[in-house]
Structure 1
Amino acid sequence: MSDRRDNDRDLARQARVVSVVIAGTMILWMLAQVIGGQLGLEERYVFLFDLFALAGFTWALVVTWQIWRKRRGG
């Protein structure tokens, strides 16, 4: 029973990290878009911010999928 609780706690911790990454990525990406527009940054820099956001969201998707698989299997 203790192993099950430890596993549930680990999965809950991972889920919290994923939620923080998703929220933080979205906020930082929106800020980068606003600030980039106000400063008149070149498109290549704005595209770089987009790539960073995609990397964050991709990581979150992969970890969420791993959490889902662990919960189904356990």
Structure 2
Amino acid sequence: MVPDKDQHLAKKARMVAVVIAVTMLVWLGAQWLGGKLGLPSRYAFLLDLAALAGFVWSFVVMYQIWRDTRRKD
């Protein structure tokens, strides 16, 4: 692989790792805070959907990274 391509893929992988970590921390914190504040369950479902969107995006980008590493140039 070309070094520029390796750097690009590494940057994408780091971004995915950060998104997964931040999504999980925000989701856990929001669930905890929502329970402490007694927010309605509809907000919990909204937060769940937002977290799922972040994880789905991460998996799509991970698949793109995997596909790019398998491609022969």
Q: Which residue identity lines up with residue 8 of structure 2 in the other structure?
A: D
Partner Cα distance (2:44, 2:37) in 1? 11
Structure 2 SS opposite 1:36: helix
1:22 corresponds in structure 2 to: 20
More helix by share: 1
Unmatched tracts of structure 2, length 5 or more = none
TM-score, length-scaled by structure 2: 0.96
Unmatched tracts of structure 1, length 5 or more = none
Structure 1 stretches of 4+ moved >2 Å:
none
Q: Which residue identity lines up with residue 22 of structure 2 in the other structure?
A: G
TM-score, length-scaled by structure 1: 0.95
| Identical residues among aligned pairs (%) | 56
